[in-house]
Amino acid sequence: MAATCGRSVIHVEHIRKSYGTLRAVDEISLDVYEGEIFGLIGPNGAGKTTTMECVEGIRTPDSGTITVLGLDPFRDVYQLQERIGVQLQQAQLQKRIKVWEAVHLWASLYKRKTASGEQLLEQLGLADKRDAWFMTLSGGQKQRLFIALALINDPEVVFLDELTTGLDPQARRAIWDLVRGIRDRGKTVFMTTHLMEEAERLCDRVAIIERGRIIDVDTPERLVVKNCPQRTVVLATDDSGAAEAFGRIPRLDSVTRADARFMLHGSGEEFVTDVIQCLSDNHVRVTDFRTVLPTLEDVFLKLTGHSIRE
């Protein structure tokens, strides 16, 4: 994992973009480093797509500067397109274009040596659809075709906007593996998602964006530690003295109980150890024990005051 040690391949400084009176992107700055998977997460309309499309050179920000692979996405757009791969959130192809025709066309557009289209189709589970018209593909198959097109020129930076929207869990996992594979070959991935699980499992770093502003940027783990120190232990016991013993656990915030089931809420990394210590000191027999750690979802809730799904 490269995290923050590589060279900056995407540098965004104070960009703004308005549509009429709406500030879609309001003073965003960020850096994406070579070899990392960087995710933008945020609710609908937060400005993820707008930011990403400015970086890809297909929209122009009102102000601010962007550098991608040392190039200006506006001035050097064709040079840049040679070296990046783009999957757009909302795109279609010609209704009656065949899958293999799309892949061949794309392969013919780049000067650099391209990846094997047939191999990509194989990897993405589209080999048996190579002769199908685009309009006959299912949503997930279209999505996978767009991912194939984004990878056809063996790009140095890959942009994936909502890459697993509409995919079934199995296909989603396959795509995650594929994206990790891209990173492991030294490429950089810039993606957006509103699936917290996806961001947590896939991204080396994430930026949380809301109403056109970045609220925080870090690794998913550090975001959780920093913003949500609370820990919850769920356990089941018949021991009558348990409730009283739990009261002596340091850093315990609250206990909720349903019959033999206890939920102990505390904070700090030591909390789980303290609970185990208490159980062992008091010889409490438990029939179930698990810890619930906060997730990016909780971080999001904490930072924005609402859930990403609202």
Partner 1 sequence: MPLSTRGLFALTWLETKIFLREPLGAIGSMVVPVLAFLVLGRALPRTVPLTATPYAGLLAPGGVPVLVSILIANSAVLSLVAIISIYREGGILKRLRATPLRPPTILTAHVLVKLLLTAVTMALMTLVGRRYFSPGVDVPVISFAIALLIGTWSILSIGFVIASIVPTARFAQPIGAFILYPMIGLSGLFAPLSAFPPALRTVARLLPMTYVVSLLGGIWRGEGWLAHLGDIGALVVAFVVCTALSSRVFRWE
Ligand X SMILES: Nc1ncnc2c1ncn2[C@@H]1O[C@H](COP(=O)(O)OP(=O)(O)OP(=O)(O)O)[C@@H](O)[C@H]1O
Interaction partner, residue 174 (partner 1, ligand X, Mg ion, none; CB < 5-8 Å by kind):
none
What single letter denotes the amino acid at residue 269? Answer: E
Output 88 or 157, the one with its CB closest to ligand X.
88
Q: Return the residue of 49, 87, 123, 227 that touches ligand X, per CB under 6 A.
A: 49
For position 21 contacting ligand X by CB under 6 A, the verdict is: no
Site for partner 1 in 82-141 (CB under 8 A): 82, 86, 88, 90-97, 101, 104-106, 108-111, 133
Q: Which stretch binds Mg ion (CB under 5 A): 11-19, 41-49, 103-111, 121-129?
A: 41-49
Mark 64-103 with x for binding to ligand X (rule: CB under 6 A) and - for no binding: -------------------------x--------------
For position 61 contacting ligand X by CB under 6 A, the verdict is: no
Specify burial of residue 104 (Cβ count, 10 A radius: 0-12, 13-18, 19+). middle
For position 207 contacting ligand X by CB under 6 A, the verdict is: no
Interaction partner, residue 92 (Mg ion, ligand X, partner 1, none; CB < 5-8 Å by kind):
partner 1
Q: Return the residue of 46, 86, 126, 208 that touches ligand X, per CB under 6 A.
A: 46
For residue 177, which phi and psi values (nearest 5 degrees)? Answer: -60, -40
Specify burial of residue 126 (Cβ count, 10 A radius: 0-12, 13-18, 19+). buried
d(CA 301, CA 228) in angstroms, rounded, equals: 10
For position 159 contacting ligand X by CB under 6 A, the verdict is: no
Output 1 or 22, the one with its CB closest to ligand X.
22
Output 92 or 256, the one with its CB closest to partner 1.
92
CB of 207: closest distance to Mg ion in angstroms?
A: 14
For position 11 contacting partner 1 by CB under 8 A, the verdict is: no
Compute how many residues bind ligand X; rule: CB under 6 A.
13
d(CA 194, CA 275) in angstroms, rounded, equals: 34
d(CA 219, CA 207) in angstroms, rounded, equals: 9
Sheet containing 205-210: give its strands across. Answer: 84-87, 157-161, 188-193, 37-41, 205-210, 213-218
- What lies within 8 Å, CB to CB, of 178 at 6+ separation is 123, 124, 147
Largest CA distance in the chain: 75
Count CB atoms within 10 A of the CB of residue 139: 10
CB of 23: closest distance to ligand X in angstroms?
A: 9
CB of 79: closest distance to partner 1 in angstroms?
A: 9
Output 88 or 235, the one with its CB closest to partner 1.
88
For position 24 contacting ligand X by CB under 6 A, the verdict is: yes
Q: What is the binding site for partner 1 (CB under 8 A)?
A: 56, 58, 78, 81-82, 86, 88, 90-97, 101, 104-106, 108-111, 133, 146
Residues forming contacts to ligand X in the complex (CB under 6 A) are 19, 22, 24, 42, 44-50, 89, 194
